[in-house]
Chains A and B, each alone.
Chain A
Amino acid sequence: MNKINSIRKDWSLIETLIAQDRKILDIGCGDGGLMEQLENNRNAITHGIELNRDLAANAIARGFNVVNGNAELDLSQYSNNSFDYVILSQTLQAMMKPKDILSELLRIGSKAIVSFPNFGHWKIRLQLLISGKMPVTESLPYTWYDTPNIHFFTIKDFLNLCNEMNIVIEKSIGLTSKGKQFDISESVTGVNFFTHEAIFLLSYKNFEPIKIKSSKKVFAKNSVIAN
């Protein structure tokens, strides 16, 4: 089968993060473009969730497994670890409870791939500084009163949240507004300034079992000890 070239730059990067023959859940899958790409190029088994009825109908008509629904309400129905990867592309900032969603992604999937527009980009900072108005840019093209993006955050904010939630950043890719690609972790200074769009591959920390001396019992650090 012929390889499919991505329509979106972040899709081709997402593809590079995904191994062959894996099971994938794409949240906000649209009409199935990324699913098609991953089925063709990575031999993936794909499932999708799409809020927009017409897009979901298109995806289903194209033969993809897509559920017309709201991820914030529907993710709870999926079992733990039922996917290898859960993808949330350009949607976290539009979620009511981004933190809950993030933990749901890593409950359902062994790994999560999250991409988002960086609100800390210098152009956005400059716009707010100079004009005193909420910034409107190419990647965030909405005025404040009709934007679907209700939680703006920067790369720094995201890194702090991951740290707080014990989430491991396995890989992180930044894109400048000109589409130049770089590794976020290797260029920490200025990264929050120049990254236009960020893509993260996430997993939970794998805790080695540690011995608790007093009880002589082995507990995993992240296991719950019942009273």
Chain B
Amino acid sequence: MNTKFTTDTKIESEIAYFENVNLKLESGDIIDNFKLAFKTFGELNTDKSNAILVCHALTGDQYVAGNNPITGREGWWSRMVGPNKPIDTNKFFVICSNVLGGCAGSTGPKELQNESDVAYGGNFPSVTIKDMVKAQSLLIESLNIEKLFSVIGGSMGAMQALQWAIDFPDKILNIIHIAGALKHSAQNIAFHEVGRQAIMSDPIWKNGKYFENNEVPERGLSVARMIAHITYLSENAMHRKFGRKLQSRDIISFGFDADFQVESYLRYQGKSFVERFDANSYLYLTRAMDYFDHDETFRKNIEFSHNPNNHLKYLIVSFTSDWLFPTIESKMIVNQLNSLSREVSFLEIDTDKGHDSFLLEEPQLDDVIKGFLTNNFAKIDE
């Protein structure tokens, strides 16, 4: 494998180019050359034992902390990752890469096809969570890290963390799996399908070739985001935040303006999303989540991939008000791990903030992640 590293100053990101790797995807397609955009925080220690891979969710990117030059805002998990934060970059070397199929610098539908000046668009091969993790493992290998101390992620990031445990149990010591599941449920696939239909029925989408005219299917993508955003919240959180409050007016308009604050909020979410995310990427990544299914196979996979001395630790966290990835889904993972006597911890955090809780202020999540990492790191140092 030949890996070249460069820095893309425009997006303030490291880029790893993998050439002639023949990355075989689950679909059977092969990608010869690909690149991953990534960021690192903190220092790798001399025995390379303090590396943590953070996996981003559906619409995340490599800008887990620090400044995100694309949005001009702080990284998506700045409250969790940084000096003296729960994932402490004074202590740990944190790596976060944009997933394969993403749109923040890694190879995906937005990027140019091999040595051509045309973007992949709809010609990009279907990628799965397993493929994303395979690509990440090549990045970790090329950084000369033999073993990751931890792989951490929420939502689609949790799927990647679980996939790491299944595919590379010998290359990691623990995973922190937040608001995830063994499989994407029928309800979740249904919501994704509505989002994709919104994009694909936008006349500007043009079978994914909208970039040829320098256009963006803004309406479709923003509606997709609005639908998804509802699923990330909870009824209580919405009620607390908006209730039936009116937006910039005292009386209702008897029309279809954004009378209500909740409407205005969703419109804003949709609009700002369009500015930073690629519609085709959204189609591919939602599909990757839909295809995720370890319901039948998880037990078998971890039963034989481990030897009994492999003390891979699992921390599984769920939230009481998360109806997208409800606690019962996390408990299914815990059940299977317990039935195999694996080292598993599980916590359901009481909050009304819904699926998005992992990105928000949740002191108990902070405490548990910080303690879990610190104490388990101290144990390997002994």
Interface residues of A in 40-79 (CB under 8 A from B): 47, 53-54, 56-57, 60-69, 74, 77-79
Contact: A62 with B339, CB < 8 Å?
no
Contact: A60 with B339, CB < 8 Å?
no
Cβ–Cβ < 8 Å partners of B374 in chain A: 63
The verdict on A185 contacting chain B, using a C-beta distance below 8 Å, is: no
Contact: A62 with B375, CB < 8 Å?
yes
Select A60's contact among B338, B340, B347, B378, beta carbons within 8 Å.
Answer: B347
Interface residues of B in 339-362 (CB under 8 A from A): 339-341, 343-350
Q: Which residue of B lies closest to A75 (CB)?
A: B338
The verdict on A177 contacting chain B, using a C-beta distance below 8 Å, is: no
Q: Which residue of A lies closest to B338 (CB)?
A: A77
The verdict on B10 contacting chain A, using a C-beta distance below 8 Å, is: no
Contact: B372 with A79, CB < 8 Å?
no
Select A67's contact among B338, B340, B368, beta carbons within 8 Å.
Answer: B338
Separation of A23 and B313 alpha carbons in the complex (Å): 16
Q: Which residue of B lies closest to A59 (CB)?
A: B345
Contact: A61 with B350, CB < 8 Å?
no
Q: Is the interface of A mostly helix, strand, loop or mixed?
A: mixed
Contact: B350 with A53, CB < 8 Å?
yes
Cβ–Cβ < 8 Å partners of A53 in chain B: 347-350
Separation of A60 and B313 alpha carbons in the complex (Å): 12
Q: How far is the CB of B318 from chain A (nearest CB, A)?
A: 9
Given contacts A77-B335, A77-B339, A78-B339, contact A65 B344 (CB under 8 A): yes
Cβ–Cβ < 8 Å partners of B338 in chain A: 67, 74, 77-78
Interface residues of B in 306-361 (CB under 8 A from A): 313, 315, 331, 334-335, 338-341, 343-350
Select A61's contact among B340, B348, B370, beta carbons within 8 Å.
Answer: B370
Cβ–Cβ < 8 Å partners of B350 in chain A: 53
The verdict on A82 contacting chain B, using a C-beta distance below 8 Å, is: yes
B81-108: CB near A (< 8 Å → 1, else 0) gives 0000000000000000000000000000
Interface residues of A in 58-113 (CB under 8 A from B): 60-69, 74, 77-79, 82-83
Contact: B345 with A67, CB < 8 Å?
yes
Q: Which residue of A lies closest to B363 (CB)?
A: A57
Contact: B344 with A60, CB < 8 Å?
no
The verdict on B376 contacting chain A, using a C-beta distance below 8 Å, is: yes
Q: Is the interface of B mostly helix, strand, loop or mixed?
A: helix
Given contacts A57-B368, A61-B372, contact A66 B335 (CB under 8 A): no
Q: How many A-B residue pairs have CB under 8 A?
A: 67
Cβ–Cβ < 8 Å partners of A60 in chain B: 315, 345, 347, 368, 371-372
Interface residues on B, range: 20 to 34
Contact: B368 with A61, CB < 8 Å?
yes
The verdict on B364 contacting chain A, using a C-beta distance below 8 Å, is: yes
Q: Which residue of B lies closest to A73 (CB)?
A: B331
The verdict on B32 contacting chain A, using a C-beta distance below 8 Å, is: no
Contact: B376 with A63, CB < 8 Å?
yes
Separation of A81 and B372 alpha carbons in the complex (Å): 28
Select B313's contact among A56, A65, A67, A74, beta carbons within 8 Å.
Answer: A65
Separation of A147 and B93 alpha carbons in the complex (Å): 49
Contact: A65 with B371, CB < 8 Å?
no
Select B347's contact among A23, A68, A82, beta carbons within 8 Å.
Answer: A68
Q: Which residue of B lies closest to A46 (CB)?
A: B343
Contact: B344 with A61, CB < 8 Å?
no
Given contacts A65-B313, A65-B345, contact A79 B375 (CB under 8 A): no
Separation of A64 and B371 alpha carbons in the complex (Å): 10
Separation of A213 and B62 alpha carbons in the complex (Å): 74
Q: How far is the CB of A109 from chain B (nearest CB, A)?
A: 11
Cβ–Cβ < 8 Å partners of B340 in chain A: 79
The verdict on B367 contacting chain A, using a C-beta distance below 8 Å, is: yes
Question: Could you name 20 residue pairs across A and B whose Cβ atoms are closer than 8 Å?
Answer: A23-B341, A47-B341, A47-B343, A60-B372, A61-B371, A61-B372, A61-B375, A64-B345, A65-B345, A66-B346, A67-B338, A67-B345, A68-B346, A68-B347, A69-B331, A69-B334, A77-B335, A77-B338, A77-B339, A78-B338
Residues of chain B at the chain A interface (Cβ within 8 Å): 313, 315, 331, 334-335, 338-341, 343-350, 364, 367-368, 370-372, 374-376, 378-379
Residues of chain A at the chain B interface (Cβ within 8 Å): 23, 47, 53-54, 56-57, 60-69, 74, 77-79, 82-83
